[in-house]
Amino acid sequence: MSRSRSHSRTRSIDQPPAVDLSNPVRPQRDDSNLNGSSPGLLLARRRAHNFIASRVDDSHVVADVTSETMLILLGQLARGESIANLSAFAVGIARRKVAEHFRRRVARQLAHDITDTKEGRPVEEHELLALALGDLDSSQRRIVTQRFVHDLPLREIARRDGTSISTAQRKLEGSLAAFRATMVRRGWRQRLKFSFPVGLLGLLGQRVGRRPRWLTPMASVAALFVVGIVLPVMVHLVLDDPVEDVAPSLREASAPDQFRQDRGTNPSDEPPILPQPFDRPVVIGGQVIDASGEPVADVEVRLLPYDDLRVYPLSEIPFVLTDKEGRFELRSHDPAPWFHVLAVARDESAATSPPLQPRSMTVLQLRPPVTIHGVLLDNEGQPAEEHEVVVGGLLHTALWKRSVRTGSGGSYQLDIPHPAGFRGRAASLVAWGDRGGVSESLVAPIQAGPPISRATSRSSRCVG
């Protein structure tokens, strides 16, 4: 009896427990916050991408650093951590990633300089950095050293200086701008100091090598006089002046011609717009009035860069409200060459200003909306019903795009806000049917003008 009982106990221990493989248990994960199309993540990615692109010149590096930033952000959300401000959190991650990128690049450059065996002694990187830091004042040198040498975060730097984080950020950006300008001046100064005199002495040695011997001391004295007195004076007069970037803006050069024509001016006749320094914000203010000239209060005014033509919802752009006198003041740290100010009131009337230079004032006059209606015809000239008609402006299309379906007889009618100088095109989109897929056709331009602008559009193809 005892033997059978011990034998059964041994079998129960040696036998593994039965596992139901038909219904495996998998770890549950909450991915409700990881929707890539959510407005918070889109805005955070945009802010991080703009921050990285303003500091890194290589587009491939910008894409890589942006991807790393978003992966870290999504990892934080996947772990269930609550983040109050996704945009600020993404910019903080991007700042650390950009700093790591520059540290790796400097390390690779220093390793390359150490193994370099070219003739002559080039100016060492650490010597140039030390000279550039020596040209800064004490406050700029302190904040640059704390951030990039001691690797202190902005919060700690602000605590040590007794200021806010935004103030420390502005001081750091101003110090970096001064440091870059000093590096440029130092680089050219070192190049003129070493390369040009050596070449001049070599040229003089070749010229006077075949002359009588008594000319050689005179040529040496003349060369020393030029190198020791005349050249330093010229370098001091030329290179010690304030550095001004008088080149036209890259954004102006890269803007398409159609957007330049929409501005109503010839860009070649305009004076160049200088980039603004980083140590102070860009300020644009003004007043919003209605059609009768009276000030309008509680109007949302948004600041939009001129070259920001990507598709972003209007609700993601920060805004300020006008006061009782219709006045507003917008501040931005984006060093864009010009801006558009967009005022929207109750989704019924709107106005945009022409491109504005920073620190300028403007008056925005609200206008009533414009009604656009017409008839959509197919290739055979017959009315096309139940088709979607989209009307949008050539400038900031995503902000002014409106769509409506055609009714009986192919007729459509829609109201759009009336920005200053609006030019639009009507596009017919086949929104149903599997044969041929979705087709899009741009039709004749629409010149919006008070009170009604009529347009008749013809679709290039309809799916029946």
For residue 236, what pLDDT band results from cuts at 50, 70 and 90? low
Predicted pLDDT of residue 338: 60
Structural tokens at position 437: 């897929």
Task: List 330's β-bridge partners, or say none.
Answer: 284
Q: pLDDT-based confidence at 317, cuts 50/70/90?
A: low
More confident site: 325 or 149: 325
- For residue 397, pLDDT over 60 is answered with no
Residue bearing the bigger pLDDT, 27 or 177: 177
Kindly report the CA angle at 163 between 331 and 153, in degrees rounded to 5?
A: 95
Q: Does the structure show a pLDDT above 50 at 241?
A: no
| Secondary structure class of 59 (helix, strand, coil) | helix
pLDDT at 170: 85
Residue with tokens 């020791």: 228
Nearest CA to 387 out of 460, 290, 282, 288 is that of: 460
Q: What is the mean pLDDT of residues 230-257?
A: 45
Greater confidence, 460 or 308?
A: 308
Strand 388-393 and strand 402-405: pairing?
Answer: antiparallel
- Cα–Cα dist 348/369, whole Å: 6
Per-residue pLDDT, 398? 40
Cα–Cα distances (Å) from 328 to 15, 291, 304, 331, 342, in that order, read: 79, 18, 15, 10, 12
Q: What is the pLDDT of residue 452?
A: 35
pLDDT at 114: 43
Instruction: Using the predicted structure, report yes or no on whether residue 248 has a pLDDT greater than 50.
Output: no
Handedness of CA 248, 252, 253, 257 (dihedral sign): negative
What is the chain's length? 464
Task: Output the DSSP codes for 331-394.
Answer: EE----S-EEEEEEETTTEEEEPPPB-SSEEEEEE-B--EEEEEEEE-TTS-B--S-EEEEEES
Homologous superfamily of 370-458: Immunoglobulins (2.60.40.10)
Q: Out of 62-66, 250-254, 341-345, pick the least confident.
A: 250-254
- Give the contacts of 67 (CB within 8 A, at least 6 positions apart): none
Domain ranges of the chain: 280-365, 370-458
Max mean pLDDT among 50-64, 137-151, 345-359 falls in 50-64
How many angstroms separate the CA atoms of 59 and 25, rounded? 44
Measured distance CA(101)–CA(110) in Å, rounded = 14
Predicted pLDDT of residue 274: 42
Structure tokens at 321: 């409200």
Cα 351 from Cα 366, distance rounded (Å) = 5
The 10s digit of each residue's pLDDT in 77-133 is: 888 777 778 888 888 889 888 888 887 777 666 544 444 444 445 556 666 677 777
> pLDDT tens across 183-201, in order?
766 665 555 454 445 444 5
In eight-state DSSP terms, residue 420 is T
Three-state SS for 87? helix
Does residue 316 or residue 230 have the better pLDDT?
Answer: 230
Residue 238, class by beta-carbon neighbours within 10 Å (0-12 exposed, 13-18 middle, 19+ buried)? Answer: exposed
pLDDT score recorded for residue 287: 84
pTM above 0.85, yes or no: no
Say how many CA atoms lie within 13 Å of 230 toward its Cβ. Answer: 9
Q: What would be the CATH architecture of the domain defined by 280-365?
A: Sandwich (2.60)
Q: How many CA atoms lie within 13 A of 54 on its CB side?
A: 18
Q: Which of 97-111, 268-282, 315-329, 390-404 has the highest mean pLDDT?
A: 315-329
Q: Which is higher by pLDDT, 30 or 227? A: 227
Distance of CA 126 to the CA centre of its chain: 31
Structure confidence at residue 380 as a pLDDT band (50, 70, 90): confident
Measured distance CA(462)–CA(464) in Å, rounded:
6
Segment among 100-109, 165-174, 297-306, 417-426 with least mean pLDDT:
417-426
- Whole-number pLDDT of residue 217: 62
Confidence tier at 304 by pLDDT (50, 70, 90): low
Specify the pLDDT at position 235. 61
pLDDT recorded at residue 254: 33
pLDDT in tens, 32-44: 555 545 677 888 8
> Whole-angstrom Cα distance, residue 204 to residue 255?
50
Average per-residue pLDDT in the chain? 63
- 228 pLDDT exceeds 80? no
What Cα–Cα distance (Å) separates residue 356 from each residue in 88, 141, 286, 296, 339? 27, 34, 11, 21, 5
Q: How confident is the model at residue 463 (pLDDT cuts 50, 70, 90)?
A: very low
Does the pLDDT at position 207 exceed 70? no
Residue bearing the bigger pLDDT, 191 or 269: 191
Cβ distance 143 to 175 under 8 Å?
yes
Asked if 440 and 359 count as a contact pair (C-beta separation under 8 A), the reply is no
Lowest mean pLDDT among 163-172, 209-218, 241-250: 241-250
Residue 160 has pLDDT above 70, yes or no: yes
Other C-beta atoms lying within 10 Å of the C-beta of residue 315: 9
Give residue 403's pLDDT.
72
Q: What is the rounded CA–CA span in Å between residue 359 and residue 119?
A: 51
